[in-house]
Structure 1
Amino acid sequence: MLVLFLALLLKKIRILHQKDGALTSKMVVYLTLPATILIGVNHTKLSNIFFILMFMGLFSNLLLVFLGKFIGRKATVEERGLYMFDLSGYNIGNFSIPFVSSFFPAAIPFLAMFDMGNSLMVTGTTQAIVELSSGRKKHGFILQEIFGVLFRNPPFVVYIFMFILAIFGLSFPDEWLIPIRPLANANTLLSIFTIGLFMEFRLPKGKLKLVLKILTWRYLLAFILASLVYFFLPFPAIIKEILLLIFFCPMSFLHMIQAIELGNDKALAGLTISLSMFISLILMSIIVIIL
């Protein structure tokens, strides 16, 4: 929390600006996050639970996209699209992995598997569903474009690479990874600092009710999914705890960009995801304390 408020303070007194977040974000995506995943996933032994988590990452997104369509059925095309984007999608790479690795480093392989399914949705599949639903087809479901986005994403490439190694029972000797440990150690601090730089609290006129409805539905559905997993699924305790944290993590940055492309106001999309990051940080901290 201290790092987050430091970023907000430095932005407030104009030492840093929101645009500086683009640089720190690239450092996270291209350096510190891949290093964290590489170290965290190394020596992973694949089991059925990994494939279940991958499926859950995909299925939970699909479920929430169509629930968003139903909840926003009486709204305008743009607002219905915002429901579909903002009720689904998880910011795992830039938020959940840095957060969870601070408390449960052994959880990174499980987060990675869920995020592989999640990534297939947030990189373009959800956008295709929203566009087809709205009748404003700009991109559609173009598999080549979706995989193009995925394989230009360094964390996803590391996921795939380490997944292939795990299939063959291979891993890197720990000594080989010593040079990148400083990068991995910096990931949490740099990620949270970047989130602080990106946070924006400017409310578009007349949109407060919409923002509150979206946030209420997102966290209500997160609570329902978390309850179903925690009380009814026969998973080990650590898997349940990880899924609880995932369900309460913030909205996807990619979905914010896609919502703007659909015609939503930048300030509206930015405020919604900023509040989501702030709320998620508090709720995930509470979950860690309780569990």
Structure 2
Amino acid sequence: MGAVLTQAISFLLVILAAYLFKVANILEGKDGRTISKIILNLTLPATIIIGFNSVELNKILFIMIGLGLSANIIFITFGGLIWRKRKTSDQALMIFSQGGYNIGNFTIPFVQGFFPQAIPFIGSFDTGNALMLFGGTPILADKLTGQNRGARGIGEVVFRLFRSPTFTTYIIMILLALINITIPENILSVVKLFASGNAFLSMFMIGLYLELTISRSDLKKVAQLLFTRYTIGISFALVSYFLLPLPEIVRLSLVLLALAPIATVSTINMVVYGNKESLSGFLSSASIILSLLFMTLALALIM
């Protein structure tokens, strides 16, 4: 429990430090894009390689991919139905706030320091999650809202998926596991050097993107969205941990995933579907802080 609390406090301090750097004009919010590129192209793939190396491929990993897909589909559909009588932009806001999990930039950095054995299961879930984020969710959102903003062909979806270094790394490591190839230790030692900076850079990037100003009317809307997301998330976590016939490490991974914040791609899509950047930015920031608190509390209660 002490390690979990120390990790959570450390993350909060890094986020706060980055936010203060932004407030003091030492760095700007746009600097987060540079850090994001470093994370997505170097430190996160390195963390995934270490987590998946030597992993034994079994049916549980494929079950996690399926859960990543099905959880998104169920919760996106539920979100679309809740606000189906509201204007289209609000309905899209609810849809994208319920589907999509920030796994690469938040959940994996959160667990890699003290719970690295969970990374293959979390990464497998993220494979299904990515299939929805980069293709399935916009298509489903179009059907639920009667729009045509996210319509795209299969070729474009596949292209977008493999443009993501994270998704490509997942696929490569799964293929290597299928043919029982392990990366040698001398190469892995270099990869570990890149992976060691992933958690710090991820939290620092979040701090640079943190938005704390919002209108009162939008604040009420954000409260409704987050209440819905975390009510569903906590329910998903309880069902996963107490009812699913899976190993404990897998059930614990699902608890953390259920409480993960809103995905960055989802917040971008909120703007594409007619919502204000300030609203989606604040919503994303609030979900990150809440997820850090809920995930820390969940681990403190379980471990």
Q: TM tier, shorter chain?
A: over 0.9
Query: Could you say which residue in structure 1 is the equivalent of 2:249?
Result: 238
> In the alignment, which of 73, 79, 89 is matched to residue 68 of structure 1?
79
Counterpart in the other structure of 1:4:
15
- CA shift for structure 1 position 205: 5.1
Structure 2 gaps, min length 5: 1-11
Secondary structure of the residue that 2:211 maps to in structure 1?
A: coil
Asked if 1:253 corresponds to 2:264, the answer is yes
Q: What is the Cα deviation at residue 141 of structure 1?
A: 4.3
Structure 2 partner of 1:227: 238
Equivalent residue number for residue 25 of structure 2: 14
Residue of structure 1 equivalent to 2:159: 148
1:204 Cα deviation after fit: 3.4
One of 106, 124, 141 as aligned partner of 1:130: 141
Work out whether 1:106 is the aligned partner of 2:100.
Answer: no
**Are residue 57 (structure 1) and residue 51 (structure 2) matched?**
no
1:92 lines up with 2:103 in the alignment: yes
Once the two structures are superposed, residues 176-204 of structure 1 have per-residue CA deviations (whole angstroms, 9 ceiling, x without a partner) of 21112111011001111111111112213
**Paired AA for residue 231 in structure 2:** L
4+ aligned runs moved over 4 Å, structure 1: none
Q: Does 2:292 correspond to 1:281?
A: yes
Contact 1:204–1:267, Cα closer than 8 Å, also in 2: no
Report the secondary structure of 1:206's partner residue.
helix
Quick one: distance in 1 between partners of 2:269 and 2:48?
A: 26
CA RMSD of aligned residues (A): 1.1
Q: Aligned-pair distance for 1:155? A: 1.2
Contact residue 36 and residue 187 of structure 1 kept, 8 A: yes
**Are 2:43 and 1:32 equivalent residues in the alignment?**
yes
Between the aligned partners of 2:145 and 2:118, the Cα distance in structure 1 is: 38
Q: Identity of counterpart residues, as a percentage?
A: 38
Given candidates 196, 204, 217, the residue that maps to 1:206 is: 217
Q: 2:233 is matched by which residue type in structure 1?
A: A
- With normalisation by structure 1, the TM-score equals 0.97
Please report how far the alpha carbon of residue 272 of structure 1 lies from its aligned counterpart in structure 2 after TM superposition.
0.6
Instruction: In structure 1, list runs of 5 or more residues that go unmatched.
Output: none
1:193 aligns with 2:204: yes
Find the residue that maps to 2:197 and give its secondary structure.
Answer: helix
Does the CA contact (< 8 Å) of 1:249 and 1:284 recur in 2?
Answer: yes
Deviation of the 1:259 alpha carbon: 1.1
Secondary structure of the structure 2 residue equivalent to 1:43:
coil
Whole-angstrom CA distance in 2 between matches of 1:43 and 1:174:
11
TM-score by length of 2: 0.94
Contact 1:200 1:271 (C-alpha < 8 Å) held by counterparts: yes
Counterpart-to-counterpart distance in 1, 2:125 and 2:147:
30
1:237-258 residue CA offsets vs partner (Å, 9 max, x unmatched): 1111111000101001101111
User: What secondary structure sits across from 1:192 in the alignment?
Assistant: helix
Provide, for residues 195-234 of structure 1, a one-character-per-residue CA deviation record: whole Å limited to 9, x for no partner: 1111112213522221100000000000111111111111
Q: Distance in 2 between matches of 1:162 and 1:279?
A: 31
2:89 — aligned with what? Answer: 78
- 2: CA distance, partners of 1:36 / 1:266: 31
Give how far 1:132 is off.
2.5
Once the two structures are TM-superposed, the CA of residue 283 in structure 1 deviates from its matched residue by 1.1
Q: For this pair of structures, how many residues does the alignment match? A: 291
